[in-house]
Chain A
């Protein structure tokens, strides 16, 4: 016996697939949309539909964009002597938000994690080496996550770049803003102590 119309049920099922959305939330969202004005719902549907048609991967930095090369790679105002290597497109966003960096990016699309089936060959590392061979920079900043996977990736990438003679740096590691020394793990504390500086 079906208690809701098929079309409503279909939307609930589709929303349910999204991360963090269970059956209850999916139903709630569906009924909210059912009661919303037609235009608003159409706009949402269009936004979802167009996203996949418009978005491409930048052929230079592999970030997601609507043009290739992307606006950042294409921007002549940006510092072309610096290249920041990140795991995901969202990381570019995070670094852009602080407005302290105006160099270029390279998105690897993941980190090395053999146990999850991700090896170096599944990432855009060969592309990075090729890119730097063609367009050398003065400094490469490795901004992968401070996790074992991110560290392994950083070590692996720095090894690949060793022959190019480019300065390779790694983001500093230490205590987070608003953190608590008492709860810090030994790796973080060790790194924080190693990276201490004069004030």
Chain B
């Protein structure tokens, strides 16, 4: 048996947690060096726990972890950023749940992916900060798909590789990108992508957030963008996400509170 360090240090975002035993919690972390990993935080359900507040959901913390026989155990924790705005507004919190569920579902334990860690951290920050959380989500979805190997091909037809004219193209989840009209006409599972939406998707995919955040996207376009990406993600995961329902519920209620009786936009499920 090789001698190994008994303790290791890592930063992490807490993605999920489940109660475990008397007063412990099983945490699912996303870390830069270890990817997704599960550790045990002992005693954190007691009010006097020193660690409890530092291993709250969606906090970015520095952890000292002891290697255990089956599960590693958190011995020290210190918050780097607790993303307070996510805790004060239900709408923003529901988006954070979605982001966490996406990362959880698209990753396997122990697969390092530093870019994904960085975009997760940024997304949590932007979600607390941005006026247009839907834009943050679309940007995050596209980056995540890219980093886990499902980058949708948007500028060339996935079949004939000809550049598609942005005024006429179809999005096909099964093929992972757009089809030109010649290849996609009459194909099953294709959806029209309007020129504006296709251009926006391309822009989000190829520019950094600082540029993308200046985009002004109207409700109709947002609705369509969300529909395309949501259908693609549902196709890849072969299942809908629970946090999507929650996000829709919250948004529908907020829309109703603003304009009672009006049909809320952007709440259709895929």
Contact = CB atoms under 8 A, between A and B. Distances in A.
Interface of A: 19-20, 112-120, 147-149, 151-152, 155-156, 159, 176-180, 183-188, 190
Contacts of B22: 20
B56 A187 contact: yes
**Nearest 7 interchain pairs by C-beta:** A185-B53, A114-B243, A183-B50, A148-B57, A176-B47, A114-B246, A155-B90
26 contacts: A19-B21, A20-B21, A20-B22, A114-B94, A114-B98, A114-B101, A114-B241, A115-B16, A115-B97, A115-B242, A118-B242, A120-B249, A148-B93, A151-B93, A152-B94, A155-B89, A155-B90, A159-B90, A178-B48, A185-B53, A185-B54, A185-B56, A185-B82, A187-B53, A187-B84, A187-B87
A155 B92 CA distance: 12
Nearest to B250: A156
Contacts of B97: 113-115
B56 A116 contact: no
Nearest to B28: A115
B246 A119 contact: yes
Contacts of A116: 16, 18
Contacts of A120: 246, 249
B253 A114 contact: no
B82 A186 contact: yes
Contact of B79 (A114, A149, A156, A185): A185
B233 to A, nearest CB: 15
Categorize the interface residue count of chain B.
Answer: 35 or more
Given A114-B245, A186-B82, A152 B93 contact: yes
Contacts of B94: 114, 152
B100 interface: yes
A177 B242 contact: no
Nearest to A153: B90
Contacts of A183: 50
B210 to A, nearest CB: 27
Interface of B: 15-16, 18, 21-22, 47-48, 50, 52-54, 56-59, 79, 82, 84, 86-87, 89-90, 93-94, 97-98, 100-101, 104, 241-243, 245-247, 249-250, 253
Contacts of B246: 112, 114, 119-120
Nearest to B25: A147
A115 B100 CA distance: 8
Given A120-B246, A177-B47, A185-B79, 9 more contacts: A115-B100, A118-B242, A149-B57, A151-B87, A159-B253, A183-B50, A184-B53, A185-B56, A186-B84
A156 B251 CA distance: 12
B90 A156 contact: yes
A53 B175 CA distance: 55
A178 B50 CA distance: 11
Q: Taking each of A116, A148, A155, A178, which has the highest tally of chain B beta carbons within 10 Å of its own beta carbon?
A: A148
A187 B82 contact: yes
Contacts of A147: 56-57
